[in-house]
Structures are given as C-alpha cells and as structure tokens.
C-alpha cells in the first residue's frame, strides 16, 4: 500500500475537475460553500481583497481556524502557505489539510526558491502566468496548476491573459520538431522532459484551474470556455452582496458553461458583485502575480 504517490496526488486534482473551489474564512462560510456545491474550500485568515486592504505581512492561517473549517465540511480543505515557506507547509501537512496552495497571495518567504513539493505526502497547487512557470512548479512536484490572475481585484483580465498564454505556448510546442524542443526548454526556462511531454500530449501533465479575479458566473464560464479544468473563487463570493446565491450560481455556470441559456438564468437577480479594481490603478508593488518566478 503506497501513499503520497504522484498518481494519488494528481488524482485528487482530477476529482476536482469541473468544480469550484471557494475561499472561506469561517466554518459558517465553509458550510455555505459546501451547500452551494463547492468541490473544496480554501481555509484563509482573510480573503485576498482584505489582504490588499489590510497590508502588512500575510501568512498561513491560524491552525485553529483550519481545524474549525475541516470539522465543518465533508469536502476537501485546502490552505495557503507563503512561497518557499516549507515549514508552514509541514505544519499544514501535519494538520491533515487535503491540498496546499503555495500562493503569491501571501507574502513570499523566499524570493529565490519555491518549496520542494516532492518531499510532501500532501499535494500542492501553484500559480503560473505562463507555460514555463507552470512547468517549473510541476518540476518541483506541484500536482495541480492554477492561473495567478490578480487576486482580490474582481477583475478577470489577468486570469484570461495567463490562461491564453499557457494555451498558446502549449499549441506552439506541438508544432515543433524533436530537434527544436531543447531550445524551447531553454526559452521557457523549463525542464526538458516536461517540455517534451507537453509537446507530445498537447496538454499540461496536471489539472489546470482558473484563479485570480473571478467574480461572476459569466467569468467562471469564460475561464472554462478558455480551457480551464475548474475555477477558484476568492473574494468573489463572500465580498458580494449575496454570498449563498453567488456561490450557487458560479457552481452552476461552471458546470453548464457550454449552455449560455443556463448561464443567463443563473446570473439573474444576484445583487451586487464584489467591487472591482481597474488594473491600471494598481501600483506595481501591489501586484501579487509578479511574486514567484
């Protein structure tokens, strides 16, 4: 009997496909998420929009909070660690969370190195802006990838950019001959074996979700139409005027993204979405997606 294998780690990500993973900060919010049909919850101290407003150093959530949320729901519970903070990751593994998000939303602990994710039984998800970044994280052992987007803005533009970039780069690899793959690996700054694998299969070797700025059912459906396997929603649910309704509508739009009639129906009468932020108004120092490499 083998635990913590690559197959078992990537397999849990496979089971989340077509689903919505919701940021929650209390056990009550976790129950609302589960009731709405979330496939997993992300246990946090503060949602990204509040992390932006609050400033200071953002860290792993208090273990008490994570335990309360674990006890409140039957679906998988994820939690975030700072980039490179392998000690926070060891704590989350000891707490028995189901997935660890090594996240740019928290303040990075190491500007050069990410966590060696092969060393863990618990699977990891990491953010990526392009194919090279995704393959570097997979090379370090990530079992799932998500777009970085720009968390806490309610603005989907960066998630769209990141997903389109990954897709375009995967397509391009498929057009290359075998003798061109080493140069492609050099240009992408990615492990050759993974570049060769993607060139052959035409897809990432792990599940790829959308994250960062998804605020409405139509945003979620858009990301599915662009080829994402599922959706993370951070501030979009509990910063809206009617969280249970938003949560449910986003779940339904993620499943029925191919049916605009369904997306139209579930989008009706939801009340106010979370307030959004124009990206041009953000200082470079306030952009989270540039954290990590």
Q: 243 by DSSP, 3-state: which?
A: helix
What's the min distance (Å) between Cβ of 104 and other proteins? 23
- CA-to-CA distance for 142 and 154, rounded, in angstroms? 26
Burial of 42 (0-12, 13-18, 19+ CB in 10 A): buried
70 labelled catalytic: no
Does residue 37 interact with other proteins by CB under 8 A?
yes
Q: Which residue has 């979700």 as its token pair?
A: 209
- CA-to-CA distance for 78 and 265, rounded, in angstroms? 30
What's the min distance (Å) between Cβ of 171 and other proteins? 19
- CA-to-CA distance for 158 and 184, rounded, in angstroms? 24
113: left (phi over 0), alpha (psi -120 to 50) or beta: beta
- Beta pairing partners, 20: 231
Q: 278 by DSSP, 3-state: which?
A: coil
Query: Which spans in 226-284 are helix H?
Result: 235-238, 243-255, 260-267
Binding mask 83-122 for other proteins (x = CB under 8 A): ----------x--xxxx---------------------xx
What's the min distance (Å) between Cβ of 3 and other proteins? 5
- Of 26, 67, 75, 242, the one binding other proteins (CB under 8 A) is 75
Binding mask 193-232 for other proteins (x = CB under 8 A): ----------------------------------------
Does residue 175 interact with other proteins by CB under 8 A?
no
- Binding segment toward other proteins, per CB under 8 A, in 48-56, 126-134, 193-201, 255-263: 255-263
230: number of Cβ within 10 Å: 24
- Of 25, 30, 72, 76, the one binding other proteins (CB under 8 A) is 76
- The separation between the first and the last C-alpha atoms of the chain, rounded to the nearest angstrom, is 36
- Binding segment toward other proteins, per CB under 8 A, in 32-40, 45-53, 166-174, 186-194: 32-40
Q: Do the bridges between strand 144-147 and strand 207-209 make them parallel or antiparallel, or are there none, so unpaired? A: parallel
Say which of 9, 70, 80, 239 is annotated catalytic.
80
Does residue 39 interact with other proteins by CB under 8 A?
yes
Does residue 68 interact with other proteins by CB under 8 A?
no
Distance of CA 87 to the CA centre of its chain: 21
What's the min distance (Å) between Cβ of 259 and other proteins? 8
For the annotated catalytic residues, the residue numbers are 80
Positions that interact with other proteins (CB under 8 A)? 1-5, 7-8, 11-12, 14-19, 34, 37-40, 74-76, 93, 96-99, 121-123, 251-252, 255-256, 259, 262
């Amino acid at each position: 009997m083998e635990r913590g294998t690559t197959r078992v780690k990537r397999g849990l990500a496979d089971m989340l496909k077509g689903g919505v993973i919701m940021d929650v900060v209390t056990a009550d919010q976790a129950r609302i998420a589960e009731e709405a049909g979330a496939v997993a919850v992300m246990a946090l101290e503060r949602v990204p929009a509040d992390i932006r407003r609050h400033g200071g150093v953002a860290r792993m959530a208090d273990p008490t909070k994570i335990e309360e949320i674990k006890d409140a729901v039957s679906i998988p519970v994820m939690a975030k660690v700072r980039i490179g903070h392998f000690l926070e990751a060891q704590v989350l593994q000891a707490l028995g969370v189901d997935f660890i998000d090594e996240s740019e939303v928290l303040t990075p602990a190491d500007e050069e190195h990410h966590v060696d994710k092969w060393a863990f039984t618990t699977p990891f998800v990491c953010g990526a802006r392009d194919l090279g970044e995704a393959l570097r994280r997979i090379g370090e052992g990530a079992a799932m990838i998500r777009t970085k987007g720009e968390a806490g803005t309610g603005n989907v533009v960066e998630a769209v950019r990141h997903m389109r970039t990954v897709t375009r780069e995967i397509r391009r690899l498929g057009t290359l001959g075998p003798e061109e793959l080493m140069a492609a690996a050099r240009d992408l700054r990615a492990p050759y074996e993974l570049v060769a694998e993607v060139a052959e299969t035409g897809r990432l070797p792990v599940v790829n979700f959308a994250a960062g700025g998804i605020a409405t059912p139509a945003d979620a459906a858009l990301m599915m139409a662009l080829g994402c396997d599922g959706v993370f929603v951070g501030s979009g649910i509990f910063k809206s005027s009617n969280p249970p309704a938003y949560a449910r509508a986003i779940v339904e739009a993620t499943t029925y993204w191919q049916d605009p009639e369904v997306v139209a129906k579930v989008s009706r009468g939801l009340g106010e979405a979370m307030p959004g932020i124009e990206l041009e108004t953000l200082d470079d120092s306030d952009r989270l997606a540039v954290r990590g490499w």
